């Protein structure tokens, strides 16, 4: 009586193990990575509206006034 019970338990365990090992995460995830997603967000947002320099410090020197009167608009191709 012990042998059939052992075979049944072994067979059940084997099937369960095989079922778990045969599973995989096959999702075709075409969504961009975090870095790529951030890049796409920046590229989209930068095209929205006109931009101006509100603060520019170079080597400790505030050079914001060098950009007074300038407005920047970015096209969909990324050109200024």
Look at the block and give the residue holding tokens 């072994």. 10
DSSP H or E run through 42: helix 34-46
Rounded to an integer, what distance in angstroms lies between the CA atom of residue 60 and that of residue 11? 74
| 61 vs 24, residue with greater confidence | 61
| 32 vs 52: which has the higher pLDDT | 52
Q: Band of the pLDDT at 63, cuts 50, 70, 90?
A: very high
pTM: 0.46
E strand intervals along 11-64: 57-58, 61-62
Residues 6+ apart with CB under 8 A from 75: 47
Alpha-carbon gap, residue 5 to 12, rounded angstroms: 11
Report pLDDT for 56: 93
Residue 72 carries which DSSP code? B
Query: Which of 18-32, 39-53, 61-75 comes out lowest in average pLDDT?
Result: 18-32
């Amino acid at each position: 009586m012990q042998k059939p019970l052992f075979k049944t338990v072994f067979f059940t365990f084997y099937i369960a193990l095989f079922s778990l090992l045969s599973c995989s995460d096959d999702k075709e995830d075409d969504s961009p990575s975090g870095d790529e997603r951030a890049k796409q967000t920046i590229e989209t947002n930068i095209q929205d509206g006109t931009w101006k320099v509100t603060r520019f410090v170079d080597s400790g020197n505030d050079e914001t006034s060098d950009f007074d009167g300038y407005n920047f608009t970015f096209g969909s191709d990324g050109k200024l």
